[in-house]
């Protein structure tokens, strides 16, 4: 059976020129009006999820932005609204890129998740410069929920090395091929009204110690008329919506985007550099400190560093580790998403990040949230003055 | 661990910068900020101009004070140390060394020599011999402490008299990763990183472009220091 997307009688994406029309186009998916063809004369009405992906895109230079998009999308069509683009991937799936934010792009689609995930991976894997995912740590994800929490998923994968597993004598060090015996842990609660209680109970218990990093969170928000949205928000910026209110879905997208933008701005407020003061200069900023919890035993610091500073997913860093001693390794690194330089100083208790002024703060969020998911979920990120950047509510 | 010029510069950066509990920052509550690296300052000595180049300059609007720090080995240069001694607040103001939020009418200054602890006795003896009375801080991987003379700013004097305890593996190294006297081995990683950045960006570039990316304080360097960097980078390339 060859399943093609049809334009009739659903809304033709080519006709969408404004945000109002985009809203109606996305809404047809929620309301089950979206139509697919099975054969030339056979239609079926389906209800799919609305997918929105938040992508750091740096779209201020429109020409450069669309050139970069062209590496993944075969068509890039401006809309009447200058902050909207209609894009088609290589499977001819339509997407709408909302670039009202100069920094982030919200990419909306109602097509098959397998296709849209694949396309987003291509766009943000690092081959196309300047595009990056969001990297929302556990505490941040918890902070963006509203309405009622209905689900969550812990996802932990030990893709860093040089550590001793706290629960066994197994050395997670050299000799383990990638993807071989990497410790993995997944635990999900879905569509459950007790999700909030379950989450808190697990967080406050000794269970799954160090592996309680969220991969996604699910909540349901209902307005006064009973219209609702059930949103699942993933750590990498994917937001899946189902329900009856497209407005609520778009409100979630906007709220997450705004919070994440503020977070990056806050990170970038602490970058290191020289500021002109009259005829003089003053050095400002401070390094970020990532502190490792006491029950995390680092057995080989150089091995740990090499497994973090790698040009592949998820860290996407290039660097030259320099072992000063068994207790200290330094790295001159490059963020492969932007080409920005930064430096790391790593000990067995903490890691300092020196981010120069002008560099993109997303690298700090990427580093921290991936360490949380691969090293220990209780590691902390703080500014030099001791402000912990991510604190879970209720703590 | 050998305490050399760069270790002193990065340590003082750290003393003026909050870094959680990974490094002491006793100069932060006193309001000190780093306002210069390798800044060329002209002093007047015996009615002749004499340029000094302190490794790091810190200043505090709160204490109306500037501190010029020079890292030393065991030897002294009589005229240079005398030129440091002759530095006056108005010279720092007129040459744009201190930021405008410092009240010029209340500014005072100190020059401080910092040396590795094993050299401190010899350095103090040499200073005594030439009749120069600059304060000397002795440093090793455990502590920075005053070993000779007096710092005129009383709270700063107290800080260094009491000593600043350290842990060697916590030493910051990336405020100023190298200077023009550093070895090629010390510079190579940062230069390669700058080179990669430029290749990532595309288009043509010069040694100057590499230097300005590799050296965080490039714009602050004097001509001699910039020339030194360019030569080192050319050798690496």
d(CA A92, CA B39): 60
Residue A259: how many other CB atoms lie within 10 Å: 14
Which range, of A129-133, A163-167, B72-76, B155-159, averages the lowest pLDDT? A163-167
List of chain B residues whose C-beta atoms are within 8 Å of the C-beta of residue A386:
18, 20-21
Task: Report yes or no: A272 and A254 within 8 Å, Cβ to Cβ.
Answer: no
Q: Is the pLDDT of residue A171 over 80?
A: no
Distance from first CA to last CA of chain A, Å, rounded?
53
Q: Which of B25, B22, B27, B26 is nearest to B169 (CA)?
A: B22
Mean residue pLDDT of chain A comes to 89
Q: What is the CA radius of gyration of chain B?
A: 18
Chain centroid to CA B142: 19
Q: What's the mean pLDDT in B100-128?
A: 95
Percent of chain A with pLDDT over 90: 74
Q: What is the pLDDT of residue A209?
A: 87
- pLDDT tens-digit map of B115-148: 999 999 999 999 999 999 999 999 999 999 999 9
Residues in B lying within 8 Å of A, measured between beta carbons: 13, 16-22, 33-36, 96-101, 169-170, 172-175, 177, 189-190, 192-194, 196-197, 200-201, 213, 216-217, 219-220
Q: Which of the pair, A238 or B189, is modelled with greater confidence?
A: A238
Sheet holding A341-346, edge to edge: A317-325, A328-335, A341-346, A350-354, A288-291, A380-382
Cβ–Cβ pairs < 8 A, chains A and B: 107
User: Which residue has tokens 């990093």?
Assistant: A213
Q: What is the pLDDT of residue B197?
A: 83
Q: Which of B65, B64, B8 is nearest to B38 (CA)?
A: B8
Confidence band, pLDDT 50/70/90 cuts, at residue A277: confident
Q: What is the ipTM of this complex?
A: 0.93
- pLDDT tens-digit map of A81-127: 999 999 999 999 999 999 999 999 999 999 989 999 999 999 998 88
Cα–Cα distances in Å, from B75 out to A232, B81, B86, B179? 67, 11, 19, 20
Nearest CB neighbour to A339, from listed B17, B197, B216: B197
Q: What is the pLDDT of residue A184?
A: 80
Residues in chain A: 395
Residue A196 near chain B (CB below 8 Å): no
For residue A390, how many C-alpha atoms fall within 13 Å in the half-sphere facing its CB? Answer: 30
Q: What is the pLDDT of residue A31?
A: 73
Q: What's the mean pLDDT in B141-164?
A: 97
Q: Is the pLDDT of residue B42 over 90?
A: yes
Report the chain B residue with the minimal C-alpha distance to residue A290: B20
Q: Is the pLDDT of residue A178 over 60?
A: no
Residue A208: how many other CB atoms lie within 10 Å: 16
Cα–Cα distances in Å, from B20 out to A327, A378, A384, B25, B101? 19, 17, 5, 9, 27
d(CA A56, CA A260): 10
CB contact under 8 Å between A334 and B200, yes or no, is yes
Could you tell me the sign of the dihedral formed by the alpha carbons of A37, A43, A49, A51, in that order? positive
List of chain B residues whose C-beta atoms are within 8 Å of the C-beta of residue A352:
19, 22, 172, 174
Which range, of A385-389, B79-83, B194-198, B200-204, averages the lowest pLDDT? B200-204
Q: What is the pLDDT of residue B122?
A: 95
CB contact under 8 Å between A385 and B200, yes or no, is no
Percent of chain B with pLDDT over 90: 75
d(CA A284, CA A157): 37
Q: What is the pLDDT of residue A313?
A: 87
Structure token digits, residue B176: 């100023």
d(CA A172, CA A181): 9
CB contact under 8 Å between B17 and A384, yes or no, is yes
List of chain A residues whose C-beta atoms are within 8 Å of the C-beta of residue B101:
277
d(CA B181, CA A358): 27
Residue A273 near chain B (CB below 8 Å): yes
Q: Which of the pair, A10 or A213, is modelled with greater confidence?
A: A213
Q: What is the pLDDT of residue A173?
A: 42
Q: Is the pLDDT of residue B155 over 50?
A: yes
Q: Which of the pair, B93 or A129, is modelled with greater confidence?
A: B93
Q: Which of A189, A194, A187, A190 is nearest to A208 (CA)?
A: A187
- pLDDT tens-digit map of A7-61: 445 789 999 999 999 999 999 888 766 666 666 666 665 667 899 999 999 989 9
Q: What's the mean pLDDT in B206-221?
A: 89
Q: What is the pLDDT of residue A169?
A: 47
Q: What is the pLDDT of residue A2?
A: 39
CB contact under 8 Å between A341 and B194, yes or no, is yes
Q: What is the pLDDT of residue A174?
A: 43
φ, ψ (nearest 5 deg) of residue A346: -120, 130
φ, ψ (nearest 5 deg) of residue B57: -125, 130
Q: What's the mean pLDDT in B186-214?
A: 88
In this structure, what DSSP letter does residue B231 have?
H
DSSP codes joined into one string, B105-143? GG-EEEEEEEEEHHHHHHHHHHHHHHT----EEEE-SSE
Question: In B46-183, which residue ranges form alpha helices assigned H by DSSP?
Answer: 78-86, 89-94, 117-130, 154-162
Confidence band, pLDDT 50/70/90 cuts, at residue A229: very high
All residues at 6 or more sequence positions from B127 whose CB lies less than 8 Å from its CB, including other chains: B76, B81, B113, B133, B134, B136, B148, B149
Q: Which of the pair, A319 or A29, is modelled with greater confidence?
A: A319
Peptide bond into B116 cis (omega under 30): no
Q: What is the CA radius of gyration of chain A?
A: 22
Percent of chain A with pLDDT over 70: 88
Q: Is the pLDDT of residue A270 over 60?
A: yes
Q: Is the pLDDT of residue A1 over 80?
A: no
d(CA A365, CA B166): 30
Distance from CA of B172 to the nearest CA of A (A): 8
Q: Which of A60, A64, A100, A58 is nearest to A79 (CA)?
A: A100
Q: Is the pLDDT of residue A168 over 60?
A: no
Q: What is the pLDDT of residue A360?
A: 95
Task: Look at residue B34 and give its three-state secondary structure.
Answer: strand
Q: What's the mean pLDDT in B56-69?
A: 97
């Amino acid at each position: 059976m060859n399943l093609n997307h049809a334009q009739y009688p659903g809304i033709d994406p080519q006709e969408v020129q404004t945000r109002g029309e985009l809203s109606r186009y996305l809404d047809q998916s929620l309301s089950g009006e979206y139509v697919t063809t099975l054969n030339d004369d056979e239609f079926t009405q389906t209800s799919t999820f609305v997918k929105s992906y938040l992508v750091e895109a740096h779209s201020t230079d429109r020409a450069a932005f669309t050139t970069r998009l062209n590496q993944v999308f075969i068509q890039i069509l401006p809309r009447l609204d200058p902050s909207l683009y209609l894009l088609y991937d290589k499977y001819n799936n339509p997407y709408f890129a909302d670039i009202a934010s100069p920094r982030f792009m919200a990419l909306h689609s109602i097509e098959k998740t397998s296709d849209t995930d694949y396309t987003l991976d291509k766009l943000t894997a690092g081959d196309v410069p300047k595009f990056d995912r969001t990297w929302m740590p556990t505490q941040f994800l918890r902070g963006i929920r509203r309405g009622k929490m209905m689900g969550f998923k812990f996802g932990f994968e030990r893709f860093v090395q040089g550590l001793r597993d706290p629960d066994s004598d197994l050395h997670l060090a050299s000799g383990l091929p990638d993807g071989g015996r990497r410790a993995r842990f997944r635990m999900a609660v879905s569509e459950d009204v007790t999700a909030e209680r379950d989450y808190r109970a697990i967080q406050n218990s000794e269970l799954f110690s160090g592996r309680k990093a969220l991969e996604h969170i699910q909540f349901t928000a209902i307005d006064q008329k009973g219209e609702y949205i059930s949103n699942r928000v993933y750590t990498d910026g994917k937001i899946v919506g189902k329900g009856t209110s497209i407005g609520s879905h778009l409100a979630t997208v906007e709220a997450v985007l705004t919070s994440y933008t503020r977070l990056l701005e806050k990170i970038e407020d602490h970058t290191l550099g020289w500021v002109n003061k009259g005829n003089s200069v003053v050095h400002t900023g401070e390094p970020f400190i990532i502190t490792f919890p006491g029950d995390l035993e680092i057995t080989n610091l150089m091995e740990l560093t090499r497994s973090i500073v790698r040009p592949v997913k998820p860290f996407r860093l290039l660097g030259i580790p320099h072992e000063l001693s068994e207790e200290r390794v330094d790295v001159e690194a490059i963020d492969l998403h932007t080409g920005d330089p930064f430096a790391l100083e790593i000990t067995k208790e903490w890691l300092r990040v020196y981010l120069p002024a002008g560099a993109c703060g997303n690298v700090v969020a990427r580093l921290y949230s991936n360490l949380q998911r691969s090293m220990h979920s209780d590691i902390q990120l703080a500014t030099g003055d001791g402000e912990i950047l991510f604190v879970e509510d209720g703590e | 661990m050998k305490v050399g010029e760069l270790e002193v510069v990065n340590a003082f950066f750290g003393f003026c910068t909050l870094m959680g509990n990974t490094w002491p920052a006793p100069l932060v509550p006193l309001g000190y900020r780093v306002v210069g690296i390798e800044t060329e300052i002209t002093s007047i000595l015996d009615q002749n101009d004499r340029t000094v180049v302190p490794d790091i300059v810190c200043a505090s609007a709160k204490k109306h004070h500037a501190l010029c720090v020079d890292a030393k080995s065991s030897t002294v240069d009589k005229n240079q140390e005398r030129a440091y001694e002759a530095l006056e607040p108005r010279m720092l103001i007129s040459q744009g060394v201190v930021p405008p939020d410092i009240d010029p009418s209340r500014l005072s200054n100190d020059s401080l020599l910092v040396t590795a602890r094993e050299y401190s006795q010899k350095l103090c003896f040499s200073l005594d011999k030439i009749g120069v009375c600059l304060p000397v801080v002795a440093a090793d991987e455990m502590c920075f402490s005053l070993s000779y003379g007096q710092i005129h700013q009383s709270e700063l004097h107290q800080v260094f008299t009491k000593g600043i305890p350290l842990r060697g593996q916590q030493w910051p190294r990336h405020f100023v990763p190298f200077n023009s006297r550093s070895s090629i081995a010390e510079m190579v990683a940062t230069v390669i990183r700058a080179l990669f950045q430029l290749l990532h960006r595309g288009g043509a570039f010069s040694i100057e472009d590499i230097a300005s990316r590799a050296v965080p304080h490039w714009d602050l360097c004097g001509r001699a220091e910039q020339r030194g960097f360019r030569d080192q980078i050319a050798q690496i390339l």
